[in-house]
Structure 1
Amino acid sequence: MDRIKLRRAIARTRLAPVAAFPKRLRAVARYDAKVLSTSARWLVQSREHHNYTYDLTPLSRNHLAWLVSVVCDIPVKQVRAYLDEIEADDNLRQHLQQAIAGAERRGLADKQIRYARRIGWYAIVRASRPKHIVETGVDKGLGSVVLAAALLRNAAEGHPGRVTSLDINPEAGYLAKVAPWSEVVDLVIGDSLASIAALDRPVDLFLHDSDHSTVHERREFTAVEPKLAPGAILLTDNVTVTNVLAEHAERTGRKFLAYRETPVNHWYPGDGIGVAW
């Protein structure tokens, strides 16, 4: 009996799991070896301890383009142009590199600028042209600067807007404190729920990226609901962990989509973007 017939014969017996074990072990070992290698390289080369940054795989980037295309109802070619636009923005990249190099917290930030899923935020802002964005959770301010860069491009085309960035940490947002990006960013330090309640103008785009507990995320979407402008877009950075925005979308009669990013050469599996519109 040849090997192929023998394998097929064994596959029909109780010995099948035992016979398949070496092949399964090799597959797992190859995967684990790759993860361990990537992790070891990151531990040596990176400074980040949270809010990891990385590039997206080409496939993941293309899926993100299609998500934005569907949500904003524009051609995917236009979305890809927006993604290329931010990645080719040398002034923004240079500012971020200089701001990180001169920051007191530079020991916890990488010098290389990588936007990950935030290029999707940028494209959504470019496509939807919001007058007022509210972002909860700022950290260094990378997301705030990305949103501001999109708003500045919109303003140059006759569609001005501002972003209100909320964070409880008084040291947050140092990347967003340099002109021209700072000119469209209102950094508010304080509890996000209290800050949302105090908003005095309609919100066209809301992004949850603060405390990622289910309870707090739900409270933020509940708090911002009466503040939303007609046709507002809701985003969450917590979609890979909770179903909060999907439930909120169903409860309020909105559509919902979720995207999970795939990082290039990183041990972290990636976050995502949840969208309700």
Structure 2
Amino acid sequence: MTLAKVQPILDRLFAAATKDAWPQSYPADPQGHADALADIYMPISADGGKLLYSLIRAARPETVVEFGTSFGISTIYLAAAVADNGTGHVYGSEMNASKLAAAQANLNEAGLADHVTILPGDARESLAGIAGPIGVVLLDGWKDLCLPVLKLLEPKLSPGALVVGDDVSFATMATYLDYVRDPANGYVSVEFPVEDGMEISCYTGV
């Protein structure tokens, strides 16, 4: 299983993430925000990563989209699942150039680079060109942009697609949660209790 093979890399990256030191302030604009936090890992939890791996192994999507790649910890879980499925591709997004390079290097080290394309720039632009159908989406970038990114991708979601929003305990995720928890918007949604919480939403297409 690929996940077991890449575990030492994940362990090293998680250990580095424990040293995250957040600045006192940073610019409000997305690019300035991303560049100010260029050294901050902001990873998903290990349990969250295992959950993502399991979801993709079960769903067997042809296209996986990740908003917010950072250093590529979550991307490794996504790519490992795609590799073990023997089908599919992961499209990531990252605004900061140094993080994108680091994530690419980590994927190369893990032997998973062929399964991933990381798109540079603002996800609201870079992800617009991805062709559907999209089977799994991970939203783990700036929290106030999770809903705009979801709405961008929504016309390309396959019926039954899984959308995972990370850090749902954050107040800045409230608008996103209101949206996916309203059945009128076409989702069946449930919170999963890993670290800061993940919201798993199934797109019904209705």
TM-score (norm: length of structure 2): 0.73
1:272 aligns with: 197
Once the 2 structures are TM-superposed, how far is the Cα of residue 253 of structure 1 from its aligned partner? 2.3
2:168 aligns with: 239
1:140 aligns with: 71
Higher helix share: 1
1:206 aligns with: 137
2:7 aligns with: 93
Q: Contact conserved, 1:221 with 1:248, CA < 8 A, in 2?
A: no
Out of 122-131 and 222-231, give the one that drifted further. Answer: 222-231
Q: Contact conserved, 2:79 with 2:89, CA < 8 A, in 1?
A: yes
2:107 to 176, 189, 209: 176
TM-score (norm: length of structure 1): 0.55
Higher strand share: 2
2:90 to 163, 169, 180: 163
Q: Deviations over 1:94-151 (max 9, x none)?
A: 34467899x9x997699xxx72311111110111111110001111101000111111
Q: Contact conserved, 2:76 with 2:110, CA < 8 A, in 1?
A: no
1:22 aligns with: none
Distance between the aligned counterparts of 1:253 and 1:107, measured in 2? 40
SS in 2 for 1:146: helix
Q: Contact conserved, 1:86 with 1:119, CA < 8 A, in 2?
A: no
Aligned residues: 172
Task: Report the aligned-residue RMSD.
Answer: 2.9
| Amino acid aligned to 1:116 | D
2:28 aligns with: none
Distance between the aligned counterparts of 2:108 and 2:10, measured in 1? 11
1:44 aligns with: none
Once the 2 structures are TM-superposed, how far is the Cα of residue 203 of structure 1 from its aligned partner? 1.1
Q: Deviations over 1:171-203 (max 9, x none)?
A: 221422335311101111110110121213321
2:192 aligns with: 259
Distance 1:153 1:217, change over 3 A: same
Q: Deviations over 1:18-66 (max 9, x none)?
A: xxxxxxxxxxxxxxxxxxxxxxxxxxxxxxxxxxxxxxxxxxxxxxxxx
Greater CA radius of gyration, 1 or 2?
1
Distance between the aligned counterparts of 1:130 and 1:180, measured in 2? 20
Query: 5+ unaligned residues in a row in structure 2: which ranges?
Result: 21-39
Percent identity reads 24
| Amino acid aligned to 2:89 | R
Distance 1:107 1:257, change over 3 A: closer
Distance 1:247 1:97, change over 3 A: closer
2:30 aligns with: none
Once the 2 structures are TM-superposed, how far is the Cα of residue 86 of structure 1 from its aligned partner? 7.2
